[in-house]
Structure 1
Amino acid sequence: MRLLDVPEELTAQRLVICSDPDTGLRAVIAIDDTTLGPGFGGVRMRHYPTVGRAIDEAQRLAAAMTVKNALAAIPYGGAKSVVLTGEGRPDRVRLMRRFGQFVAELSGAYLPGVDMGTTPADMRLMAEVGADTTCADEDPAPWTAAGVFHAISSAVRFELGADSLAGVRVLVQGVGQVGEALAHQLVAAGALVDVSDVDAARATRVAAAVGGAVVDVDRALTHRCDVLVPCAVARVLTRDTIPGLRCSIVAGAANDTLDDPGCADLLAAARVLFVPDFVANAGGVRFVHVRRGGGGEQEVEAAVAEIGGLVTDLLETASSTGLTPYAAAHARAVEVLTERRAATPPPGVAVVATAVSSS
């Protein structure tokens, strides 16, 4: 790792660099905030040009997880980890078990789950060496999709005045596990769904299954539709791409959709309603929380359906205050964190209960 690769700005409460030459492991764990509980966030596996870029993404996504978990009212802080892929094909079993050992050494401060590039099988490998993991027995992807579905339904009702999705034109950008499941849910509700994906064969298969068209990846953001649903890579909405949007609503499962916070203001100026990704895609974290508490499918369904109500509430708040939905959501999360900090003694301060007897 070259010194110049390391970012100057360190925002995480705790940053762990993991390196093991025997397995080829290079990873970063960013724990952003533990006000509400241990840092909870997925393990992302992908290529990064430098370790510094990996640190940047881990910190940025961990901060979004802090907001996501606060708004979901679950007892976890925000965290994220990234495992860097490189040349060659390392033994994945050894790689994930070694990463699990690093996570276990944090003594519960970080609770990992699946994310882009990782699977429940990876979580099981990590658990075998002592890491407390989530999503080892059940993939949260269908529940993430269900949460986005509720978010879209609420946004359509708020912005378009439609009580259902019947006839609403939707473009799902990225039809991996979440995007494909969501496409089927939307079609079942009467939406007209087109798809776009870098994997042309997958796009063709999903489009045929939902009765929609395949949109070239280079034209996805300029495709005319009512709702654009980003479910692939991060930061697709930039100062350059926003002027070309031809949709009324953006609501999707992809993390970190905005290239920078100022893009929220550009979307508002362009009269495009943006549902913050950390609100829309919270079905997975809600699923994990319910399951860890022993809840069944009905409890999960109820928790995920609450996303629709939260979206409506935030959109109404934004409308009445003149804030963007993005700003309204962040303000709400800050309120939650501030209240918890005010109610929690600082480290090193003992709270002593005194018994008072009456005479």
Structure 2
Amino acid sequence: MTIDWGFPDFDDHEGVHLFTDRASGLRAIIAVHSTALGPAAGGVRFWHYAGSDAAITDALRLSRGMSYKNAMANLPMGGGKGVVLASQPGEVIGTAQLEAFGRAVESLQGKYVTAEDVGMSEERMKVVATQTRHVSGLPVAAGSAGGDPGPVTARGVYLGVKAAARRGLGADSMAGVRVAIQGVGSVGGGLARLLAADGAKLVLADVNAERAKALAAELGAEAVDADSILSLETDIFSPNALGAILTETSIPLLRAKVVAGGANNQLALRQDGHRLHDRGILYAPDYVINAGGIINVGLEYLGQGDRAEVDARVNRIPDRLIEVWDESARTGDPESEVADRLAQKLIGRG
């Protein structure tokens, strides 16, 4: 019998755990989608949501994406995600809340492994680690796997963008390729610097307009309003902020030939992958192209390999994208559907 929990993104998750800690004010969700391949790995984000339902939905979507991401990256880990609810926009998480979240992670006895995501950092993970050993993304010695996943994610996205430019534009070089980057934080900013070094023509936008302007001045790029970047005429649109930005409303506005970026859950609905495909826009599935960070912190937690092994695995991200694109071309199915099928098969749900 199928039970309708009222959350369309509930996908036979193994567990959805809600935590409160009155002393610190912590309100948190840990969603465990699958442990078929190993402990459910995925970062924790600190964010202000419109309501608890929105936070639960985000945790459900993100944890499923982590199952797929880890499987497609050939990591022996399942998928999970933590969400800590901020009481207001711009709030900074406190030490007591971080400690309480660490205790929540520890209560799951290794079923979930956390790391940093939006609103978190290496320093904050160190506080979480005082309460649980099931944490990654901690400061490490030079040459070791682990540490801040952002730069490694950025490098993987960069390699994926170059592969997408070859596939979708026939470009052997990024020189002169016009790329619109939405979100210039750790991942988007790192991507922008790598592409600028290759001579790409960049257009940048961020909800923090001053951050986009500063990076544009540094790189000789153009900065535009965050609300307008999606509809600009560019070769590649690269979403690197929060998810659900490709929708029935926004996809018709796209004027790019390729969508390739590091944001999680870029498609608001499953049908949006079909909408991109129907428009002839090449799509790099988000959980394939942005796997660099989890490769880095996953190998740190597992104790398998060093930074050279991380780099070698990140270098294979374009190969997995090409596998998806080839299968999409063979079957005529959207890239998003092809990637989901491959991932579901890997976790035993195909």
Unaligned runs of at least 5 residues, structure 2: 140-146
Tell me, what secondary structure is at the counterpart of 2:42? strand
CA separation in 2, counterparts of 1:300 and 1:145?
13
The residue aligned with 2:143 is none
The residue aligned with 1:314 is 324
Tell me, what secondary structure is at the counterpart of 2:38? coil
2:136–2:300 Cα contact (<8 Å) kept: no
CA separation in 2, counterparts of 1:259 and 1:130?
34
Candidates 106, 109, 112, aligned match of 2:108: 106
Give the CA deviation at 1:291. Answer: 3.0
Whose relative contact order is higher, 1 or 2, with alpha carbons under 8 Å and at least 6 apart? 2
Tell me, what secondary structure is at the counterpart of 2:280? coil
Give the CA deviation at 1:289. Answer: 2.8
Give the CA deviation at 1:90. Answer: 7.8
Q: Are residues 1:128 and 2:126 paired?
A: no
The alpha-carbon distance between structure 1 residues 229 and 17, as it changes in their structure 2 partners (threshold 3 A), is same
Give CA deviations for 1:174-227 in whole Å, capped at 9, x if unaligned: 001111111001111221111011111101111011111001112111011111
Highest CA radius of gyration, 1 or 2? 1
Amino acid in structure 2 at the alignment position of 1:114: E
CA separation in 2, counterparts of 1:121 and 1:58?
23
CA separation in 2, counterparts of 1:285 and 1:186?
22
2:209–2:226 Cα contact (<8 Å) kept: no
Moved over 3 A (4+): 6-11, 87-91
1:24–1:90 Cα contact (<8 Å) kept: no
Name which of structure 1's ranges 162-171 and 69-78 shifts more when overlaid on structure 2.
162-171
Unaligned runs of at least 5 residues, structure 1: 1-5, 343-359
RMSD: 1.7
Give CA deviations for 1:8-32 in whole Å, capped at 9, x if unaligned: 5543211110001110000000000
CA separation in 1, counterparts of 2:30 and 2:221?
40
The alpha-carbon distance between structure 1 residues 80 and 91, as it changes in their structure 2 partners (threshold 3 A), is closer
The residue aligned with 1:305 is 315
The alpha-carbon distance between structure 1 residues 53 and 298, as it changes in their structure 2 partners (threshold 3 A), is same
Give the CA deviation at 1:87. Answer: 4.5
TM-score, normalised via structure 2 length:
0.92
CA separation in 2, counterparts of 1:61 and 1:170?
26
CA separation in 1, counterparts of 2:223 and 2:7?
42
CA separation in 1, counterparts of 2:292 and 2:7?
33
Give the CA deviation at 1:290. Answer: 3.1
Give the CA deviation at 1:308. Answer: 1.0
Aligned residues: 335
Name which of structure 1's ranges 129-138 and 236-245 shifts more when overlaid on structure 2.
129-138
Amino acid in structure 2 at the alignment position of 1:263: D
The residue aligned with 1:233 is 242
The alpha-carbon distance between structure 1 residues 8 and 191, as it changes in their structure 2 partners (threshold 3 A), is closer
Alignment of 1:1-359 (within 5 A): 7-8=6-7, 10-11=10-11, 12-87=13-88, 92-137=94-139, 138-292=147-301, 293-338=303-348
Amino acid in structure 2 at the alignment position of 1:57: D
CA separation in 2, counterparts of 1:165 and 1:116?
29
Amino acid in structure 1 at the alignment position of 2:314: V
Tell me, what secondary structure is at the counterpart of 2:41? strand
1:41–1:111 Cα contact (<8 Å) kept: yes
Amino acid in structure 2 at the alignment position of 1:23: S
Amino acid in structure 1 at the alignment position of 2:96: R
Tell me, what secondary structure is at the counterpart of 1:115? coil
CA separation in 2, counterparts of 1:272 and 1:15?
35
Give the CA deviation at 1:49. Answer: 2.0
CA separation in 2, counterparts of 1:68 and 1:91?
27
CA separation in 1, counterparts of 2:6 and 2:135?
29
1:291–1:300 Cα contact (<8 Å) kept: no
1:32–1:79 Cα contact (<8 Å) kept: yes
CA separation in 2, counterparts of 1:218 and 1:135?
32
2:277–2:335 Cα contact (<8 Å) kept: no
Amino acid in structure 2 at the alignment position of 1:177: S
TM-score, normalised via structure 1 length:
0.90
CA separation in 1, counterparts of 2:272 and 2:176?
29
CA separation in 1, counterparts of 2:6 and 2:108?
23
Name which of structure 1's ranges 143-152 and 186-195 shifts more when overlaid on structure 2.
186-195
Give the CA deviation at 1:144. Answer: 0.2
1:70–1:77 Cα contact (<8 Å) kept: yes
Give the CA deviation at 1:132. Answer: 1.5
Give the CA deviation at 1:305. Answer: 0.9
The alpha-carbon distance between structure 1 residues 176 and 87, as it changes in their structure 2 partners (threshold 3 A), is closer
2:137–2:300 Cα contact (<8 Å) kept: no
1:7–1:52 Cα contact (<8 Å) kept: no
The residue aligned with 1:3 is none
